[in-house]
Amino acid sequence: MSATEMRTIPDEYPSRTGAGVKWIPRKDPVVYPNDDQGPLTGEQLDFYRENGYLFLESLFPEEDISRFRSELRSIWEHSRNARAPEIIREPESEEIRSVFAVHRDNDVFRGLSRHPLLVQAVRQILGSDVYIHQSRINFKPGFTGKEFYWHSDFETWHVEDGMPRMRALSCSLALEDNYPFNGPLMVIPGSHRHYVSCPGTTPEGNYKSSLRRQIYGVPDHESLTRLVQEGGIDMPAGKAGSLILFDCNIMHGSNSNITPLPRSNVFLVYNSTENRLAAPFSGQAPRPEYIAARS
């Protein structure tokens, strides 16, 4: 598809246009029609449709998690003094914040991204074949792990990557025990039904700073307050091996970790093959492949 053809795709979810904040009702299904059988029950699919996320406690056994955690330590050690664009550091230090493209660069996490249980569950929700849009490990070491501010992933993927519709989701697998006090994922149930456009406009090359600390593409305080008043805040924390599936448009974030207990998770983002990226709706150059896969 040429750049000219890509620009003909209408922008159903405008944001960062300089026109202020708008609430746009979701125009896409949450659970797509699908005749395939999968591992999720009807009750689980209904919960996901209503709340925008699903928490599966202790889905992976300790044997698998030990292997994943060993790879996590290897990636951490290798990345400490390495200089590669996939390695994102904290905004005020050289501590590692995230490592991207782990499904591409690591055999163990590549295997995890293709695990039948994950792929079948994702296909059950998205109603199509899928591919990895993005993968990363988020590190939150004890005492120094920083927060991730409230945001909708789809807002960024739409504006900066050109994802046309809300037909993607994230899988967050806990590699260490997540407690309410060590900075676990927080979600606003029901917020996935509203698209909240964000103020401002996107600077060129925004990803170079936004992956360290996001400034553009975050909702205004009034919208966040209204979303929480409507849906509350859930904190689906659990043992290592637990999995959270969450919709691309749900509002989520996490606090910093001031405890001695580390909290690291691997994120695998699946997108429908029927929702491949077009030109970014910001009108700017696409973000690099390790952040947003186009092939």
Query: For 5-14, what is each residue's pLDDT tens digit?
Result: 445 689 999 9
Q: Which residue has the tokens 């909240």?
A: 196
Other residues' Cβ atoms within 10 Å of the Cβ of residue 15: 28
Model confidence over 204-231: pLDDT tens digits? 888 777 776 787 788 999 999 999 999 9
Rg (CA), the chain: 18
pLDDT at residue number 217 = 83
Residue 24 β-bridge partners: 195
- Model pTM score: 0.94
Lowest mean pLDDT among 20-29, 112-121, 200-209, 282-291: 200-209
Cα atoms in the 13 Å half-sphere on the side-chain side of 227: 27
pLDDT above 70 as % of the chain: 96
Domain layout of the chain by residue ranges: 25-33+42-272
Stretch 257-272: mean pLDDT: 95
67 pLDDT above the threshold of 70: yes
Question: Is the model more confident about 89 or about 115?
Answer: 115
Q: Are strands 53-56 and 87-89 parallel, antiparallel or unpaired?
A: unpaired
Separation CA 113–CA 103 (nearest Å): 6
Give the sheet arrangement for strand 265-272, strand by strand.
Answer: 53-56, 243-247, 168-174, 265-272, 130-138, 96-100, 87-89
36 pLDDT band, cuts 50/70/90, is: low
170 pLDDT above the threshold of 80: yes
186 pLDDT above the threshold of 90: yes
The CATH number given to 25-33+42-272 is 2.60.120.620
pLDDT at residue number 2 = 37
